Amino acid sequence: MARTICISMEFHVRQHTEAPCRVLWPFPSQCYATFRCMNREDIAMLRYGACYYPEHWTAEQARQHIPLMQKAGINVVRMGEFAWCKFEPEPGRYKFDWIDPIIDALGKAGIATVLGTPTAIPPNWAYSRQPNILQKNAEGHVRNPGARCHCCKNAPGYQFMCEGIVQEMARHYKDNPSVIGWQVDNEFGCHNTTRCYCEHCEKAFREWLIAKYGDIEALNAAWGTSFWGFDFRQWNEIPLPRTMPAGPNPAHWLDFVRFSSDTQVKFMKTQYDLIKGICPKHFVTHNFMGCFPEIDYYKLSQHLDFPVWDNYPDSFGDPFHPSYAHEITRSFKGRFWVMEEKSGPTGDAEAGLLGEQPEPGEIRRWAWQAVANGADGVLYFRWRVCLFGAEQYWHGILDHDGIPRRRYAEVRKTAEEFVKAAPDLEGTQVEVRIALIRHFDALWSFERQPGVAGFHYDGHCFEMYRAVKQNGHNCDIINVDSDFARYRVVIAPSLSLVDDALAKRLHAFADAGGTLVFTPQSGVRTPANAMWDRTRPGPLAPLVGATVDEVRPYYHGQTNEIAFTQGALAGQTCNVGTWVEMLHAAGAETVAEFRDEAFAGKPAITCNTVGKGKVYYLGVFLPEKILKAFLAGVLPEFPMKDIPEGVEVTMRRGKQGRIVFVINNTRERQTLTLPGQFPDLLSGETVGPKVTLARNGVLILKA
């Protein structure tokens, strides 16, 4: 039996019930009331593969590639997403014989195919047949062809062509046994192309506004057009917020970026419906870009079977960044793949620079980090770096000469480890008790109006996430309409756009025993992006049990000292900056207060008891170490203490029990203490309580 078959593992349809577990890992199983099993019948295997571009190679080279892939343990490739000009070399003449023999040969080698719909780049004949399909930027300049992502998704001519090629490909491959699924297009919005300012978009934006507001006076009222004389009499007077002498109306801006996001969602839905209508057994996905801020991925995820994302970690960056994006992507549907995992130096198409070379052990660690955070598939980008084109520096597993070297050996070794661990990973899912709300409306609102220099909404969300992770917990990244009851703690960083309905749902969560954590600038805006006329934090004030007396944006490095008055941090002091809010407790207890003479004694952090739950309001941004310690007192107990900085602990759980991943993301050896002794699936040895992980070391413990 080929290696690629050995590596596979069947997932079975799971019952939506709490599975019993052996409680060797010291958590009572009832802690995980939020645990949920997913139906996995459409993901038949743990996938391990690479992105492959047969159009870059001769038939002879491709024939040589396939046995090497097989030897590396690869069981899936993604192909075709930029090859429209090969699939339809002339208008209406479709051609598949350049790739079909490759798909068949891969299939015979046990390697399945995911096809990309090639709509990110139309053939060059398209521009003369379908005029006016190119995007325009905010200055009104055309985004020219020659690269990718330059067509307007609201241009009828482009939409017509896209539907044609997608239908034709779906019909051709619907019964091909090697094709298992589809990736629609590629990285929507890449190269700053989410927002288009062309005439098609202006027309579509007005239609979007008519559907939303119905009446022009309702729009005038919602946008506050009485400011700077912006009243509209008719829909066709409404412009796109193109470059203008001063900042746009915030409501106009927010509706435009919502519309631009919805444009991508609609484009996705069209292709999803077309493919599913013809190939109902194939999965359909799209490759997200982690924390990409311009598209509401919650909405986009409604029109795909499960999301995938493209992971290019920075060797010297924060090791929790990839985990954050893994958890963001997992949270949309409870499962995900990494469709592009860095496997060599990157090669930026614009700067022309060769990126960092992964150090020995990093490719393996990144693959396990993805699985540890819930991935059911990891594909490397890419099989072999191409010899030409804007990304001729962007490396893959193989270099330009195609000779397998140490990166290939590492991919192969990791495949062997996947085989070892696969039976125990079967049917497991990441255990989560904590959620963090990442709200796209807030993200977009702060993009225009951060309130103070140095505040970045997504950066703040990541700081809060990181502190959760440093305390050992996994964390779902959720939307405001998610089911809060699945979690013990919900953290809502700078949740600025809040209405009474959302405040009521959050109140019900706390009342039932949940813990909420809010941070500065919460509850200040209406859903239209106007300011509330209520005292901050607006609709959240009754829940928080405190109001904001005064806000102080800090510039020039100014800080203020606060002192904790209760809890584990009582007596500790720290300096806070960027933005502070002087609070007034109205029922809540003071947890920390300002020390600065002018505001001495004013609450900086409060805690309100609501029913069976607690609601914290942080009027300040805490320094990293203090934030970690503060959250340690808010989050549920975690059985491992003093986890070294940069070491990651995650858990997946299934009917067989728990699998605990311990990953050393640092460049030094790390020693830590486990809460007992556990068998390590990779080495076969029993380890603990004290363990030392080498640089890039990974333990996969059966608990």
Stretch of 197-205, 486-494, 501-509, 639-647 lying at the interface with Zn ion (CB under 5 A): 197-205
SS3 of residue 423 by DSSP: helix
C-beta closer to Zn ion: residue 196 or 372 = 196
SS3 of residue 596 by DSSP: coil
Write down the least CB distance from residue 138 to Zn ion, Å: 12
Which residue is associated with the tokens 């800080």? Answer: 559
User: Which of 152, 386, 464, 491 lies at the binding interface for Zn ion (CB under 5 A)?
Assistant: 152
User: Which of 103, 120, 198, 378 lies at the binding interface for Zn ion (CB under 5 A)?
Assistant: 198
What would the two tokens of residue 657 be? Answer: 């029990």
Write down the least CB distance from residue 200 to Zn ion, Å: 5
Stretch of 26-34, 192-200, 354-362, 618-626 lying at the interface with Zn ion (CB under 5 A): 192-200
Asked if 300 is part of the footprint of Zn ion (rule: CB under 5 A), the reply reads no
Distance of alpha carbon 574 from alpha carbon 567, whole angstroms:
15
SS3 of residue 673 by DSSP: strand
Asked if 240 is part of the footprint of Zn ion (rule: CB under 5 A), the reply reads no
Check 81, 88, 187, 417 and give the catalytic one: 187
Total residues at interface with Zn ion (CB under 5 A): 6
Asked if 544 is part of the footprint of Zn ion (rule: CB under 5 A), the reply reads no
C-beta closer to Zn ion: residue 200 or 438 = 200
CA distances from 408 to 15, 78, 358, 383, 664 (A): 39, 18, 12, 9, 22
Write down the least CB distance from residue 135 to Zn ion, Å: 5
Write down the least CB distance from residue 662 to Zn ion, Å: 48
| Beta carbons within 10 angstroms of residue 53's beta carbon | 21
Write down the least CB distance from residue 153 to Zn ion, Å: 7
Q: Which amino acid is at 587?
A: G
C-beta closer to Zn ion: residue 201 or 585 = 201
| Nearby residues of 504 by Cβ (< 8 Å), 6 or more positions away | none
**Among 516, 485, 495, residue whose Cα is nearest residue 610:** 516
Contact (CB, 8 A) for 628 and 471: yes
Stretch of 193-201, 269-277, 633-641, 678-686 lying at the interface with Zn ion (CB under 5 A): 193-201
Write down the least CB distance from residue 126 to Zn ion, Å: 15
Stretch of 3-11, 149-157, 232-240, 406-414 lying at the interface with Zn ion (CB under 5 A): 149-157
Write down the least CB distance from residue 586 to Zn ion, Å: 49
For the chain, the farthest-separated pair of C-alpha atoms sits apart, in whole angstroms, at 78
Q: Following DSSP, what letter does each residue of 63-125 receive, concatenated?
A: HHHHHHHHHTT--EEEE-TT-HHHH-SBTTB---TTTHHHHHHHHHTT-EEEEEP-TTS--TT
Name the DSSP class of 30.
G
User: Which of 196, 385, 435, 607 lies at the binding interface for Zn ion (CB under 5 A)?
Assistant: 196
The H or E element containing residue 608 is: strand 603-610
Q: Where are the alpha helices (DSSP H) in 497-586?
A: 500-511, 541-544
Query: Per-residue x/- marks for Zn ion, 199-218, CB under 5 A?
Result: -xx-----------------
Check 327, 340, 410, 581 and give the catalytic one: 340
Asked if 133 is part of the footprint of Zn ion (rule: CB under 5 A), the reply reads no
Q: Could you confirm whether 340 is annotated as catalytic?
A: yes
**Among 314, 342, 417, 340, residue whose Cα is nearest residue 372:** 417
C-beta closer to Zn ion: residue 67 or 140 = 140
Q: Could you confirm whether 356 is annotated as catalytic?
A: no
Asked if 618 is part of the footprint of Zn ion (rule: CB under 5 A), the reply reads no
C-beta closer to Zn ion: residue 112 or 198 = 198
Query: Which parts of this chain interact with Zn ion (CB under 5 A)?
Result: 152, 154, 196, 198, 200-201
Which positions are catalytic? 187, 340
